[in-house]
């Protein structure tokens, strides 16, 4: 586990456990805002932005595959796919079980259908040769080993020789402890959301970035997390690092 991360300017950003992040989400959704629709939109837009930055100018022929679960993490990936499609990118979305999407991710899928993005089934992945994969399968809610379609998509992703970007937490990694499942995604870059998760060990995440999803600092302070005022400071996304000899426990 990691206690805290650092920005490029040396500002300390505290890490959170799964339990703490669930409580932060609960307070935001039930009491203070932003609501789930807003947070998912913010997450997806940030994810699309960093994906376009990674692709640079060589994007027109790039085949982007978004693998998405049925919960909030999947909804963020579906939202990112829409933004990528709206910016002219060639993007396909593969959802573990489309008929089991929760309400807010289902709304993101509804909006996505108005774009040129393609929705493909897990079976169709065998025909794809991706240049970049966005992992939006599980997020911080992993409990036990991945199974079913999620496991199938993780195994497929493991075999692909391309750029991989994970949203919030790489699929198959415990957000609190950093323990690895038998099969897990090892990304080149991870965009974690709100606050970094304690299990985001540097050998598991690739480059690590933090994305703002609109949660006020007062929400964190309500559960005893003291964060710097305005730590995003004009940036919706910024890189993070750790000092292992000081921060691991």
120 pairs with which residues across the strands? 94
Look at strands 189-193 and 163-167 and give their pairing. Answer: parallel
Residue 247 has pLDDT above 90, yes or no: no
**Residue 246 pLDDT exceeds 50:** no
Q: Tens digits of per-residue pLDDT, 144-197?
A: 999 999 999 999 999 999 999 999 999 999 999 999 999 999 999 999 999 999
pLDDT at 249 > cutoff 60 = no
Phi-psi region of 245 (alpha: psi -120 to 50; beta: other; left: phi over 0): alpha
Q: Which residues pair with 166 in a beta bridge?
A: 135, 190
pLDDT for res 216: 93
pLDDT at 244: 57
Contact present, 157 and 137 (Cβ < 8 Å): no
> Structural domains in the chain?
36-211 (3.40.50.10260)
């Amino acid at each position: 586990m990691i206690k805290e991360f650092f920005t490029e300017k040396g500002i300390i950003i505290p890490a959170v456990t799964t339990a703490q992040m669930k409580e932060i989400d609960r307070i935001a959704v039930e009491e203070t805002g932003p609501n789930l629709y807003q947070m998912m939109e913010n997450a997806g837009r940030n994810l699309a932005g960093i994906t376009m930055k990674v692709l640079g100018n060589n994007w027109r022929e790039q085949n982007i595959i978004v693998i998405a679960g049925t919960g909030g993490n999947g909804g963020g990936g579906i939202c990112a796919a829409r933004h990528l499609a709206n910016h002219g990118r060639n993007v396909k979305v593969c959802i573990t079980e489309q008929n089991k999407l929760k309400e807010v991710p289902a709304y993101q899928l509804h909006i996505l259908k108005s774009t040129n993005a393609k929705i493909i089934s897990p079976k169709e992945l065998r025909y794809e040769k991706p240049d970049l994969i966005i992992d939006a399968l599980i997020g911080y809610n992993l409990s036990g080993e991945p199974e079913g379609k999620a496991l199938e998509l993780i195994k497929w992703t493991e075999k692909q020789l391309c750029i991989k970007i994970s949203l919030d937490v790489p699929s198959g990694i415990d957000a609190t402890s950093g323990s690895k499942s038998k099969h897990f995604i090892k990304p080149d870059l991870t965009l974690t959301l709100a606050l970094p998760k304690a299990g985001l060990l540097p050998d598991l995440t690739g480059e690590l970035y933090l994305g703002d999803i609109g949660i006020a600092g007062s929400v964190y302070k309500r559960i005893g997390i003291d964060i710097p005022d305005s730590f995003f400071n004009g940036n919706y996304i910024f890189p993070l690092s750790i000092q292992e000899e000081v921060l691991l426990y």
